[in-house]
Structure 1
Amino acid sequence: MSTASAHAPAASVAPPPPGPRTEPLLGNMRALRRAPLDYFLAQVREHGDVVRFWLGPKPVTLVAHPDGVRHVLQDNVRNYNKQTRGFAVVRELLGQGLLTSEGDFWLRQRRLAQPAFHRQRLASFASTMVEAAEELATRLDARCAPGAAFDVAEEFNHLTLSVTSRTLFGSDIGASVSRDIGEALARVQAFANARLTQLLPLPRALPLPSHLRMRRDLDMLDRVVRELIERRRADTGTHHDLLAMLMEARDEDTQERMSDTQLRDEVMTLMVAGHETTASALSWTMVLLSRHPDVRRRLETELAQVLQGRSPTVEDLPKLALTRRIIDESMRLFPPAWISSRAALQDDVIGGYHIPAGSFVLVSPWVTHRHPRLWENPEGFDPDRFLPELERERSRFTYFPFGGGPRQCIGNQFSLMEMVLVLATLVSRLRLDLAPGHPFVPAPAITLRPRPGVWMTASRPRAATPASGTGQ
């Protein structure tokens, strides 16, 4: 696939992308609302790597090939901003954090926040992640009675929110506050998901019951976050959590620090993005391991060999090669951030097709990660496709669960470290299996979550035999 280049046709003469038939007024809205995951895949198979849809009167172009994804997210990134409907909804909830801000303001915030996410600083949070995973393992171990099922997706939400609060604020914010925050975040995200699928979203100022509930939830979240920030400003002690790092960061040119409003927006972004996507990825990973006991046995052997019965540490990460590949393959099949939108500022050409100024462009890890011309057996679960020698053969944007280019997720290394440590802790202690009679499906909203949840049972695994080189 060729993207815009000196050899590509000018935007004025390039043809529009192909696409499915539309309905009057609605365009392709009904099909997209009904089953977007299957619909996107089917249209790429039928029409190719650049497909145009219509959301009512608005053209939206899906770009599926890695070359086109790289063009949007990296090579011509200045032509594509986040002033889209999807990000407008997220902006209502999170404010002007790194996920939603633009231009010079975003660049300033990124530079201020970047030191907090350097590998050496992240390593100091490893013990916190393992501690939270051990607490979860202890709770689940108590449920090892035959047939005692639980929703592992809910458990992972609690775990990742606990990790986020401990690493952000230096301590757990308490069970009751954590529960209130988790429930409020769930309702706020459900509200955002509903707005994304409405043809004409109603103004938030209207006093509808759903709007009023959302306002109360946002007010509560704002109050909690601002109180934590105010409490920290009044504290003269030394802290080494993410909030302290953000508060201490200074602009290189002006020496200014973040205002309370900027801190609030970044903390809210980390709370939402930092726990929701990681919890989703861990949930899908447990589903896949339950469905593929051969891979799980290999994982248990690697953990027995590396850990020798102890808890994992940050020093173990390079040795947990299969553990990491399992996480990578899980996010290939079920990327939490399954789709992202951009707005074209000027006319462009992608794959030989005209992208008009003002239109929206979609890039979707869900689609690209399952592209049959890019991946052998794309629907299959095979962690070994992420062996180093195979990874070197793939172009950069064949796999992009954390986005790419300058706007790549700043917390990707934090999330990967957390997922590997949590998975190693749990699987070395417990074997989780899907409970019969509890169906679930991937629900494509802001994140790709299993709905209505993932019910599993816990048992204690047989001792795995360490074998030299296994799992590498």
Structure 2
Amino acid sequence: MRVPDTIPQAPGGVPLLGHTLPVLRDPFAFLTSLPAGADLVRVRIGPVQAILVCDPELTWQVLHDDRTFDKGGPIADRAREVLGNGVATCPHSEHRRQRRLIQPAFGQARLPGYARIMAEQINAMTGSWHDGRVLDVMAEMSALTARTVTAALLSSALPPQVIRDSADDVGTLFQGIYHRMLAPALLNRLPTRGNRRYMRASDRLRATFGAVIADRRGDSADRGDLLSALLIASREEDSARGRGLSDTELVDQALTFLLAGVESTAALLSWTLHVLALHPDVEAGLHSEVDAVLDGAPAEFEHLPRLALTHRVIRETLRLYPPGWLLTRKATADVRLGGHLVRAGTNVFYSPFLVQRSGGLYPDPERFDPGRWDDTQRDPPPRNAFIAFSGGARQCIGDRFSGVEAALALATVTARWRLEHLPGQRVTLAKTTTLRPHGLFMRTTARTP
């Protein structure tokens, strides 16, 4: 479907390839090069034509009209290859049912139990570090969140090697989704080394979680983990309406929570440790807070209400470095968007990275300033200024789960350790589906509160 010609063309396109080369070369420079003041722009990635929504209010409209702007487009379609028809990728017609079944698993009453499982894993792993160790921060945070999320999801511990393999597979899939979005469909079907590695990672994760779910189907006990909550809700739905979650749907949900909880939170924690080292005044304030609240102990759920600066630091890092930096929907009907007619079938891109660095929403938007999120300030950011967890009916169902995980990890790490950059290193934005740091290595120094 052709995109209406009333929408301006993004700069940098070439015949046949469109904007593929600038997106491959530096997608973030491409985003910031878009015409000033344009609410929508036309882009083309190889044969795929789309519109990119630049205006925050129009992005808000897209997110809150999920019937018209349904899950679809290149990124959502590639994610569906891995996650199946889970709550994050299913169409509008399936979403309400799945959301209703899954919501109890993320209810407030279950969070303390998840937090207890998370805290045990975070305490064990960060307690194993030693003074002067050089960390590959993204790899270390991925290992940490893999242990944490897997334990909270399944409770019964998987073998350490399986957890390590799962963390590696998650990274492979997120990198693969981005590159497969840019590649022609034919190339994605060829038995190349990258394609084989991608499919092996997907198959291995599905087999791992499929086996656990099949084993737990007959277990009526509530173990306090996410899988127990899903199984209980599914059995209740079967009794009431006969439409509980099938084994395939349960695997889809488990993989959705695993990939989001491991990769996204690992990227968030990595960026947070990076920006704290660049802002010693904020780091000092955070150290004072965790020393006073934790008093030398690892962070627990009951500490979270008193970790105000910790939460603000995490939110400001999410503003600057949203894990899902570019996402897609597909128009299911003709619709007016910003005065332009968008035809049914049009691919629609939107970018939390672009919106959350908008000078019209945030004063000095490139500056790291956790004070923006102080509840006592007179002019908080407007409602459409923060979309790191999406918005509307498709807002991330695990946003509170992720927030608890990130706050517990950051508070425990910063209470025990100070992390410093290595001399001369250059940290860049990695080109994957998730906004993760590339080249981030830091040295640990033990702290004495």
Asked if these proteins are the same fold (TM beyond 0.5), I'd say: yes
Retained in 2: the 8 A contact 1:185–1:272? yes
- 1:349 counterpart = 2:339: no
Retained in 1: the 8 A contact 2:170–2:263? no
Q: 2:43 aligns with which of 38, 53, 58?
A: 53
Query: What letter matches 1:251 in structure 2?
Result: E
Q: 1:67 aligns with which of 57, 63, 74?
A: 57
Please show how residues 81-160 of structure 1 align to structure 2 within 5 Å.
Answer: 81-140=70-129, 142=130, 144-145=131-132, 148-160=133-145
Higher alpha-carbon deviation: 24-33 or 265-274: 24-33
Retained in 1: the 8 A contact 2:40–2:53? yes
Could you say which residue in structure 2 is the equivalent of 1:42?
33
Retained in 2: the 8 A contact 1:14–1:353? no
User: CA 1:180 to 1:380, structure 2 compared with 1: closer, same or farther past 3 Å?
Assistant: same
Retained in 2: the 8 A contact 1:126–1:313? yes
Could you say which residue in structure 2 is the equivalent of 1:248?
232
Could you say which residue in structure 2 is the equivalent of 1:239?
223
Higher alpha-carbon deviation: 348-357 or 152-161: 348-357
Q: 2:67 aligns with which of 55, 62, 78?
A: 78
Query: What letter matches 2:209 in structure 1?
Result: V
Deviation at 1:116, TM superposition (A): 0.3
- 1:385 counterpart = 2:372: yes
Please show how residues 259-278 of structure 1 align to structure 2 within 5 Å.
Answer: 259-278=246-265
Deviation at 1:197, TM superposition (A): 1.9
Retained in 1: the 8 A contact 2:327–2:350? yes
User: CA 1:391 to 1:403, structure 2 compared with 1: closer, same or farther past 3 Å?
Assistant: farther
Q: 2:312 aligns with which of 318, 325, 336?
A: 325
Give the structure-1-normalised TM-score: 0.89
Q: Which digits, 9 at most, give the CA deviation of each residue in 1:243-289, with x for residues without a partner?
A: 11111113385143211111111111111111110000000000000
Q: 2:346 aligns with which of 359, 376, 380?
A: 359
CA distance in 1, matches of 2:310, 2:173: 33
Retained in 2: the 8 A contact 1:18–1:47? no
CA distance in 2, matches of 1:339, 1:203: 22
Please show how residues 203-352 of structure 1 align to structure 2 within 5 Å.
Answer: 204-235=188-219, 237-249=221-233, 250-251=236-237, 254-352=241-339
Retained in 2: the 8 A contact 1:19–1:47? no
Structure 1's unaligned 5+ residue stretches are 1-11, 464-472
Could you say which residue in structure 1 is the equivalent of 2:383?
396
Deviation at 1:30, TM superposition (A): 1.6
- 1:413 counterpart = 2:396: no
CA distance in 1, matches of 2:12, 2:214: 55
Q: 1:426 aligns with which of 413, 418, 423?
A: 413
Query: What letter matches 1:183 in structure 2?
Result: D
Retained in 1: the 8 A contact 2:86–2:252? yes
Higher alpha-carbon deviation: 88-97 or 339-348: 339-348
- 1:182 counterpart = 2:172: no
Retained in 2: the 8 A contact 1:108–1:251? no
Query: What letter matches 2:44 in structure 1?
Result: W
Retained in 1: the 8 A contact 2:272–2:314? yes
Higher alpha-carbon deviation: 415-424 or 202-211: 202-211
CA distance in 2, matches of 1:368, 1:251: 39
CA distance in 2, matches of 1:306, 1:188: 38
Give the structure-2-normalised TM-score: 0.93
Could you say which residue in structure 2 is the equivalent of 1:29?
20
Q: 1:167 aligns with which of 112, 133, 152?
A: 152
Could you say which residue in structure 2 is the equivalent of 1:19?
10
Deviation at 1:73, TM superposition (A): 0.5
Higher alpha-carbon deviation: 437-446 or 262-271: 437-446
Q: Which structure 1 residue ranges, 4+ long, deviate > 6 Å from structure 2?
A: none
Higher alpha-carbon deviation: 335-344 or 386-395: 386-395
CA distance in 2, matches of 1:378, 1:83: 30
Query: What letter matches 1:242 in structure 2?
Result: L
Retained in 1: the 8 A contact 2:419–2:443? yes
Q: Secondary structure, in 3 states, of the residue corresponding to 1:362? A: strand
User: CA 1:186 to 1:241, structure 2 compared with 1: closer, same or farther past 3 Å?
Assistant: same
User: CA 1:60 to 1:134, structure 2 compared with 1: closer, same or farther past 3 Å?
Assistant: same
User: CA 1:97 to 1:128, structure 2 compared with 1: closer, same or farther past 3 Å?
Assistant: same
- The count of residues paired between Structure 1 and Structure 2 equals 444
Deviation at 1:179, TM superposition (A): 1.4
Retained in 1: the 8 A contact 2:174–2:434? no
Could you say which residue in structure 2 is the equivalent of 1:448?
435
Q: Secondary structure, in 3 states, of the residue corresponding to 1:125? A: helix
Deviation at 1:392, TM superposition (A): 6.1
CA distance in 1, matches of 2:4, 2:244: 49
Q: Which digits, 9 at most, give the CA deviation of each residue in 1:325-368, with x for residues without a partner?
A: 00000011111111211111223222223323322222211001
Q: Secondary structure, in 3 states, of the residue corresponding to 2:67? A: helix
